[in-house]
């Protein structure tokens, strides 16, 4: 079993407690498949006040994280791990993170995530990392929640972490489409019934229904994904069928307006 190691450089390691032990992530850590280590750059300061930030050159609001403690933390992490991790800076200015990145990172033995705080980092820190990643076009207080997003998406793709290996392959984004809708008991809830085909036991009909609904959902909510998806003849026939069907009343289009 290859153990994957994830290091997080954070000024607020306490943010991760609870989350690290919960659910499948907690199980993966307990099983020894993955290891997550937290390192506080404040431990690498040299002054009495343990200073990690300072005012920006040129003036302006807020404080900027200094390079020396962060780089010392990065170098200490690699020394302790005995390997050079893939270093990732979390920043709203980075490349948008997606499922393909999670798949790529899940293959790597050692990943190091650097969380910012305040107004961000001294620009020179960028020279010490391999990539810069954003989790979305919005600004968070700090990189900790962003690190959790990247770690969860990555760790659940590490072999053996999800009990049922099939379940990640069929999920949204893995096949280029959104996942099909799902129902569970009761069969009828407040007048809304589960589609008959799902209770028919006809596996071929269920597979066709699910593929069609994945195509329909993606066409309605994420036409950008559908345009890039690899589709075969059957998919095209299903899309033709969908186009001939009446538009569902109240169907979600992805817009919240």
Ligand X SMILES: C[S@@+](CC[C@H](N)C(=O)[O-])C[C@H]1O[C@@H](n2cnc3c(N)ncnc32)[C@H](O)[C@@H]1O
Q: In the complex, which residues of this chain contact ligand X (CB under 6 A)?
A: 90-93, 115-117, 119-121, 134-136, 138-143, 146
Please calculate the CA angle 135-38-78 and round it to the nearest 5 degrees: 95
Q: What gap in Å lies between CA 203 and CA 133, rounded to an integer?
A: 41
The closest residue (CB) to ligand X is 116
For ligand X, give the closer residue by CB, 134 or 218.
134
Indicate the residue among 69 and 120 with the shorter CB distance to ligand X.
120
Closest approach of ligand X to the CB of residue 80, in Å: 22
Nearer to ligand X, 133 or 226 (CB): 133
CB of 135 to ligand X, least distance (A): 4
Pick 122 or 171: Cβ nearer ligand X: 122
CB of residue 114 to ligand X, shortest distance in Å: 7
Residue 4 · residue 35 · CB < 8 Å: yes
Q: How far is the CB of 53 from ligand X (least distance, A)?
A: 11
Q: At what angle do helices 233-244 and 203-221 cross, to 10 degrees?
A: 70
Residues whose CB is less than 8 angstroms from the CB of residue 196 and which lie 6 or more positions away in sequence, other chains included: none
Per-residue buried b or exposed e for 29-55, using 16+ beta carbons within 10 Å of the residue's own CB: beeebbebebbbbeebbeeeeeebbee
């Amino acid at each position: 079993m290859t153990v994957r190691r994830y290091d997080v450089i954070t000024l607020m390691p306490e943010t991760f407690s609870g989350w690290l032990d919960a659910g499948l992530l907690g199980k993966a850590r307990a099983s020894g498949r993955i290891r997550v280590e937290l390192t506080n750059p404040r431990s690498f300061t040299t002054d009495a006040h343990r200073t990690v930030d300072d005012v920006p050159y040129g003036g302006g609001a807020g404080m900027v994280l200094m390079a020396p403690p962060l780089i010392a933390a990065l170098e200490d992490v690699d020394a302790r791990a005995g390997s050079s991790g893939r270093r990732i800076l979390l920043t709203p200015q980075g490349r948008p993170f997606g499922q393909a990145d999670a798949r790529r990172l899940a293959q790597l033995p050692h990943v190091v995530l650097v969380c910012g705080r305040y107004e961000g980092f001294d620009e020179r820190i960028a020279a010490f990392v391999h990539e810069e990643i954003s989790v979305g076009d919005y600004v968070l207080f700090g990189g900790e929640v962003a690190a959790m997003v990247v770690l969860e998406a990555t760790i659940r793709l590490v072999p053996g972490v999800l009990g049922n290996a099939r379940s990640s392959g069929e999920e949204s984004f893995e096949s280029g489409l959104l996942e099909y809708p799902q129902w569970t008991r009761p069969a009828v809830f407040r007048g809304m019934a589960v589609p008959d085909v799902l209770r028919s036991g006809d596996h071929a009909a269920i597979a066709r229904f699910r593929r069609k609904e994945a195509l329909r959902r993606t066409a309605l909510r994420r036409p950008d994904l559908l345009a890039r998806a690899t589709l075969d003849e059957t998919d095209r026939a299903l899309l033709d069928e969908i186009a001939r069907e009446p538009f569902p009343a109240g169907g979600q289009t992805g817009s919240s307006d």
